[in-house]
A and B are shown apart, each in its own frame.
Chain A
């Protein structure tokens, strides 16, 4: 057998983790050993994993700080949900409808990423963080002000209130301002979520290990050196950033089709959510795709598993955050990890056997 390179092996482990986790969950679900809580949280786990992996592309690989990832997710969620609601009677096959909604959401979020990237990524420094922070808040407030309806005359749009739409009696209001979208078909399920997560991983991992990926990392490590060897800095930066935004849009579409109600609250599409995703990335290890995926899963599961502790669970959550931070980032933690790492233990055993 041909020996696999170290990166290929590592990538295969990443895919393997997802596939094995999927199979285990499916088996548990089929045999009825899974609690309702776990069944309900599987799709959100996929959503947060996709968000963390996609943000890692901006933060870890491109080396720019983005504080508006939830904004791109919001764009994807609302455009996807609007599409699904408009076509719920036209396209009867849920799978096809979801696929098209997914494309719409991805394209819209990606376009927003490009629009933000063109002016901002030309600059040096922390401007991307500032602009994306504002973008996230603007999108949230914008969505809260939109009234959008459909009747036999076509589509109606207003920024005032739902009376101003002037709908015919048979018309339906699709986005109702702050009340958001209700009655989105719940088309997403765990299998779709896992497939999307795998696609996200394939895109990000392949991008990172391609010629483009190396150019992006060269820009991160030394902008001047990269420029001097003829790398088009703005082009590669915008490329990485818009791919990251588009993938966040995909997560948003998944989010919108998981629950039947969609509102843009500070809690789910605001600044806090962007920071939350950033926390997944930082704690999972900046630049480590597999790490951010695992961190997203653990940190989403934890508050739910700690429900028995009532109000103390947030306290414990904070303690766990600090513990993970020490484990992944402090020099002592890294030394400890190296000493007791799984690979080393295995090697030592091999030596003993010999």
Chain B
């Protein structure tokens, strides 16, 4: 017994030694990185050749891009999708000759969807020698990290951090729509196409995404001649029964129910609405993407549901088809919208870096300045939109796509 105990203690000690060793290494890298890049990246290239074979010797230096997102915990689905899709894009870009002749290296760190952990992940990536950041996947951690990246003046592109504050700093840009934009776009879409004038909203008041969309939707619908006749809020702690909210919507005579929420709750709402013979038009945002994949959900209930989403995995265009096929081959699942955002983000970085003429020996801050200007000049055709452009604030300009569920598949409207 005593032997066993001492063995366990020794093992723990060994682990901690290994862990300390690990940090020491990264520390050395940190110190070595600037020197290496001053030598036109020759040492970097040499060390990479040792680890990755002869292929990298043909590259002209290395561009290190870091990624942050939750790969464990409740929001792990999003982080993993981003990590997988980004890796896929990096492989493709490197196979096609890299960025400006530089090899793209990508490292992804877990943040458990926590602001504090996210800053830790950012600092870990800095120790690794990150030159640009493609993250953070979720909004609140992104808001914390953007302040840190602004201090270092590091180029920051978030694939899916949709809160307004997530890109409050001048060094930050995003691929997805911001929450308010989605709300406004939804109201405009409903108003301009004359889908309904009496609208009920059911939203999650404890969720940043949901309440962000709702507020802007409410503000914009006044301009569009839409009347919000009922609004039912729920919180993360009571999201199993929506009959009360649905009854209120029914009594108020709402023709359309707007659902700026995620698909899990939406599937419950659809089921309960069918149970009480209430058949309005259901309209949602990109959070509803994934509705058809909910386990045990009768997809016929989702018939006629409309949603504004930048990406639908079964779209018919060449790009989406190729991406979905490649993603499925590599990871065995159908990519969601987060994956598409991340895939686009890598190509956006490539396009902007080539526009700005980024080279491996530039400092992080110089890169950021170059990228900031280049971002406002480029136009990118991606999975999540055609001809996407950016303003200096970092907001993308692209037209939202509306899809309708007919016969169990998303079809463009």
| Contact surface of A with B, Cβ cutoff 8 Å | 32-41, 44, 141, 144-145, 161-163, 177-180, 182-183, 186, 255, 258-261, 263, 265, 267-268, 302, 304-308, 310-311, 314, 316, 319-320, 323, 326-327, 332-333, 336
In B125-147, which residues have CB < 8 Å from any A CB?
Answer: 126-127, 140, 143-144, 147
Which one, A145, A182, A326, contacts B165 given CB within 8 A? A182
With A162-B215, A177-B211, A320-B12 as contacts: A260 and B19 at CB distance below 8 Å? no
Task: Scan B10-22; emit 1 where CB is below 8 A from any A CB, else 0.
Answer: 0110011001101
Identify which of B15, B72, B163, B212 gathers the most chain A CB atoms within 10 Å of its CB: B15
Given contacts A44-B116, A268-B116, contact A179 B5 (CB under 8 A): no
CA A44 – CA B119 in complex, angstroms?
11
Contact A141 to B235, CB < 8 A, known contacts A163-B218, A178-B208, A260-B144: yes
CB-CB under 8 A for A267 and B205, given A39-B123, A178-B211, A260-B147: no
A186 and B123 form a contact (CB under 8 A): no
Within 8 A of A (CB), among B101-155: 109-110, 112-116, 119-124, 126-127, 140, 143-144, 147-148
| A36-B126, A161-B215, A268-B116 as given contacts; A141 in contact with B206, CB under 8 Å | yes
Enumerate chain A residues within 8 angstroms of B227, measured Cβ to Cβ. none
In the complex with contacts A36-B127, A163-B219, A261-B115 CB distance below 8 A? yes
Task: Name the B residues within 8 Å of A316 (CB-CB).
Answer: 15
A37 in contact with B19 (CB, 8 Å): no
Check: B71 CB closer than 8 A to any chain A CB. Answer: yes
A259 touches B19 (CB 8 A): no
CB pair B23 A37 closer than 8 Å: yes
Q: A145-B205, A180-B140, A311-B72 are in contact. Are A36 and B212 (CB under 8 A)?
A: no
| Known contacts A35-B123, A265-B113, A336-B5, then 4 further A-B pairs from the complex at CB < 8 Å, ordered by chain A residue | A259-B147, A268-B114, A307-B109, A332-B1
Q: Which of B1-44 contact A (CB under 8 A)?
A: 1-2, 5-6, 8-9, 11-12, 15-16, 19-20, 22-23, 26-27, 30-31
List of A residues within 8 angstroms of B163 by Cβ: 179
Q: Are A265 and B114 in contact (CB under 8 A)?
A: yes
Chain B residues, CB < 8 A from A145: 205-206, 235
Query: How far, in angstroms, from A265 to B207 measured CA to CA in the complex?
Result: 10
Kindly state whether residue B214 has any CB partner on chain A within 8 Å: yes
Cβ–Cβ contact A35 & B26, under 8 A:
yes
Is the pair A314, B19 in contact by a Cβ cutoff of 8 Å? no
Cβ of B297 to closest chain A Cβ, rounded Å: 26
Chain A neighbourhood of B54, CB < 8 A:
none
Chain A residues positioned under 8 Å from B235 (CB to CB): 141, 144-145
CA distance A177 to B120 in the complex (A): 26
- Whether the pair B147, A186 counts as a contact (CB closer than 8 A) is yes
Partner of B124, one of A179, A260, A307: A307
Partner of A37, one of B12, B20, B123, B143: B123
Contacts of A41 in B (CB 8 A): 120, 123
Write out the residue numbers on chain A whose beta carbons fall within 8 Å of the beta carbon of B6.
336
| Chain A positions within 8 Å of B12 at CB level | 319-320, 323
Q: A37-B124, A306-B19, A332-B1 are in contact. Are A263 and B165 (CB under 8 A)?
A: no
Complex: chain A residue closest to B212, CB-CB: A179
**Which residue of chain B has its CB nearest to the CB of A40?**
B123
The answer to whether A267 touches B113, judged by C-beta atoms less than 8 angstroms apart, is yes
List chain B residues, Cβ under 8 A from A319: 12
Known: A145-B205, A178-B206. A259 touches B116 (CB 8 A): yes
> Judging by beta carbons under 8 Å apart, are B27 and A259 in contact?
no
For A332, the chain B residues whose CB sits under 8 A away are 1-2, 5
Is there contact, CB below 8 Å, between A40 and B120?
Answer: yes
Over the window 176-210 of chain B, the binary record of Cβ atoms lying under 8 Å from chain A Cβ atoms (1 yes, 0 no) is 00000000000000000000000000000111100
A161 with B147: CB separation less than 8 A: no
B237 CB-CB contact with A under 8 Å: yes
Contact of B237 with A323 in the complex, beta carbons under 8 Å: no
Contact, CB under 8 Å: B144 / A261: yes
Considering only CB atoms, which chain A residue lies closest to B147 in the complex?
Answer: A260
Contact call B120/A304, Cβ cutoff below 8 A: yes
CB<8 Å pairs between A and B, sample of 21: A33-B27, A34-B27, A35-B27, A35-B127, A39-B123, A40-B123, A44-B120, A141-B235, A145-B235, A178-B206, A178-B208, A179-B140, A183-B168, A259-B147, A260-B143, A260-B147, A265-B140, A267-B73, A311-B71, A332-B2, A336-B6
Contacts of B207 in A (CB 8 A): 178
Decide if B23 touches A38 in the complex (CB within 8 Å).
Answer: yes
Provided the pairs A259-B144, A263-B208 are in contact, do residues A308 and B22 lie with their beta carbons within 8 angstroms?
Answer: yes
Distance in Å: Cβ of B163 to nearest Cβ of chain A = 7
Tell me whether B9 and A327 are in contact (CB under 8 A). Answer: yes
In the complex, A39 Cα to B27 Cα: how many Å? 12
Whole-angstrom CA separation of A34 from B214 in the bound complex: 45
The residues of B that contact A308 with a CB separation of less than 8 Å are: 19, 22
Which 8 A-B pairs rank lowest in CB-CB distance, beginning with the nearest? Answer: A305-B19, A40-B123, A36-B123, A36-B126, A261-B143, A37-B123, A260-B147, A182-B165
Chain B proximity of A218: nearest CB distance (Å): 36
Q: Which of chain A's residues has its CB closest to B118's CB? A: A259
Contacts of A320 in B (CB 8 A): 12, 15
**Given A304-B124, A323-B9, A336-B2, does the pair A267, B112 have CB atoms closer than 8 Å?**
yes
A95 to chain B, nearest CB (A): 20
Q: List residues of chain B with CB within 8 A of the CB of A33.
A: 27
Inter-chain CA distance A263–B112, complex, in Å, is: 15
A10, B251: Cα distance in complex, Å: 71
Complex alpha-carbon distance, A336 and B8, angstroms? 13
Q: How far is the CA of A249 from the CA of B119 in the complex (A)?
A: 22
Question: Whole-angstrom distance from the CB of B71 to the nearest CB of chain A?
Answer: 7
Known: A261-B115, A268-B116, A304-B120. A183 touches B72 (CB 8 A): no
Residue of A nearest to B25 (CB): A308
- Cα-based distance from A336 to B1 in the complex (angstroms): 11
- Taking CB atoms, residues of chain B closer than 8 Å to A38 are 23, 123
Measured CA separation A259–B117 after assembly (Å): 11
Smallest Cβ distance from A304 to chain B, in angstroms? 5
A161 to B126, CA, bound (A): 39
- Complex alpha-carbon distance, A267 and B12, angstroms: 27
Bound together, the chains give a CA A34 to CA B30 distance in angstroms of 10
* Contact between A178 and B205, CB atoms less than 8 A apart: yes
A284 → chain B closest CB, angstroms: 16
Which residue on A lies nearest to B204, using beta carbons? A178
